[in-house]
A = this chain, B = another copy of it.
Amino acid sequence: MNILFIMYDQLRFDYMGCAGHPHLKTPNFDRLAARGLRFTQAHVQSPICGASRMCFYTGRYASSHGAQWNGFPLRVGERTLGDHLRDAGMSCHLIGKTHMVADAEGMARLGLSPDSVIGARQAECGFDPVVRDDGLWGVGPAGAYDRKRSPYNDFLKSRGYPSDNPWADFANAGIVDGQMASGWFTANADKPANIREEDSETPWLTDRCLEFLDTARGPWCAHLSYIKPHWPYIVPAPYHALYGVEHVLPPVRSPAERDDPHPVFRAFMESEIARTFARDEVRAKVIPAYMGLIRQCDDQLGRILDRLDTTGESANTMIVLTSDHGDYLGDHWLGEKDLFHQQSVKVPLIIVDPRPAADGTRGTTCDALVESIDLAATFIETAGAEVPRHIVEGRSLLPFLHGETPETWREVTISEYDYSTTPMRKSLDVAIPDARLFMVFDGRWKLIHAEGGFRPMLFDLQSDPQEVQDRGADPGCAQQVARLRAHLHRWALRSAQRVTRSDAQIEAAQGPEGRVGILRHVFDPGDAPEDFTAAYRGPAPADYTGG
């Protein structure tokens, strides 16, 4: 078996045909859904690119691996999916984005050179990169993405785009009356990007994947990780024109949300991003472009599926489709992600297992509470190894794929968000270590706990599926709050760092109790088995005077 682990960036769970979007057509996403199992309650462990991805790539909660925000390095030595899979005899490749930042201090302290195989794997989050490109090149004075090298930009230059940064000037900008219409300004989202469609980011990465498939020797896992439909919201023709304002769904929001909101929610609603996305004109421009980007992703997926079908590799390739988080798109008066409404924390997840054991679930859906960390466990088990539960906190989804019901399953799903780096931390005047949020969701009730002394937020998705009524201060809900808090506290006390000693090792270390009797403070030699204590009986070798 091989594993093609496809991730889109910022793809909402409900922007797929198979998930019920009334206008967006995604025939190839749907083709996967028809061949596999679609999970309707899949949540990420942190609704922000970097942290979420580190959870996918380690199988561990964000507070377990510690890389809790974009740019926080993953600590040196943290075991990754690649480490686990290679131990199981499966290679592990990267095609695209990871958002990984290497722990340069830790690597230097351990003498690891990024040029060595070991160092490169440490620096690349355990993957062997076919190509790595995180996108978002050349933010200019904002600077955050200026310092890296982009294979995609190199490609564009080789294709003759006349610019130092064709990613910004062509792939993510239109042209109007000879003036640049940059995708960084959402007003330009309706323009076609000034690039040949086949040179844009999604087809480019798809080509890299097809090249990989040409030469790959299994068993392999390939993480095909697209940068889109993440912003800048701009897409080349013909995709820029496939959808219009008539396809923009009304925002999921209510004036009630702005009436005495939770302080943290208020701070996020007051952010510049949120204020932008609260404007109808922004949604009218952005959402059709977002849908066009998704449609392009879908078309490119079709190329890959066609290739796998043609070569027969579909029969021995598990295919996974998911995203690192969603996109508010103006819902709940918010933009981007970060908080825990479904639009942000819930992700699409489709898994196609070609083996006959999965025949019974093809084309069906599964409503179990699934976490993004479950994929690492699923892949490790698919590679034929046992999931090291003292390290990997997720659980294999193979039982669901194979039509089985696990004897026990999690009662709640947990997600976390560290907002210490954001302006909201300052406007809320919260200490850095307290700028953390936790979601506990049982499938109906969703609790959001904020450190720093705030009241809880609570939503009942049964009576309020749109999550617009915060019941956190409702005395009638105190028991639900207490119940979900108890889940949170039990989770918080979990054993997450005993990563050097497995349960099996602990079990094996326990010999029969009698065998360790000598360490049990035996009083008299007669109280202990003679063969066990032979070394401590009998004639003394001599006394120290030689007597």
Say yes or no: A180-B536 contact (C-beta < 8 A), given A110-B110, A272-B513, A518-B142.
yes
- Which B residue sits closest to A175, measured CB to CB? B540
Interface status of A353 (Cβ within 8 A of chain B): no
Interface status of A442 (Cβ within 8 A of chain B): no
Interface status of A218 (Cβ within 8 A of chain B): no
Say yes or no: A281-B523 contact (C-beta < 8 A), given A438-B493, A541-B163.
yes
Q: Which residues of B contact A186 (CB under 8 A)?
A: 521-523
Interface status of A517 (Cβ within 8 A of chain B): yes
Interface status of A544 (Cβ within 8 A of chain B): yes
Say yes or no: A544-B195 contact (C-beta < 8 A), given A178-B539, A499-B66, A523-B187.
yes
Verify A536–B73 contact, CB threshold 8 A.
no
Shortest distance between the CB of A530 and any CB in chain B (Å) = 11
Verify A520–B276 contact, CB threshold 8 A.
yes
Interface residues of A in 510-547 (CB under 8 A from B): 510, 513, 515-525, 528, 531-544
- Which B residue sits closest to A501, measured CB to CB? B72
Chain A interface size, under 10 / 10 to 19 / 20 to 34 / 35 or more: 35 or more
Could you say how many copies of this chain the assembly holds? Answer: 2
Interface residues of A in 149-172 (CB under 8 A from B): 161-163, 165, 168-170
CB within 8 Å of B: which residues of A? 63-69, 71-77, 79, 83, 103, 105-106, 109-112, 116, 118, 122, 138-142, 144, 161-163, 165, 168-170, 173, 175, 178-182, 184-187, 194-196, 199, 231, 271-273, 276-277, 279, 281-282, 285, 335-336, 389-390, 418, 420-421, 423, 426, 432-433, 436, 438, 451, 485, 488-490, 492-501, 503, 506-507, 509-510, 513, 515-525, 528, 531-544
Cβ-closest 7 pairs across A and B? A66-B497, A182-B536, A492-B492, A77-B77, A140-B535, A272-B520, A73-B500
28 contacts between A and B (CB under 8 A): A66-B497, A71-B509, A76-B77, A77-B110, A79-B109, A110-B122, A140-B518, A141-B531, A141-B535, A144-B519, A169-B541, A178-B540, A180-B537, A180-B541, A182-B537, A184-B536, A185-B522, A185-B523, A185-B524, A185-B525, A187-B523, A194-B540, A272-B517, A272-B520, A282-B521, A485-B489, A489-B492, A489-B493
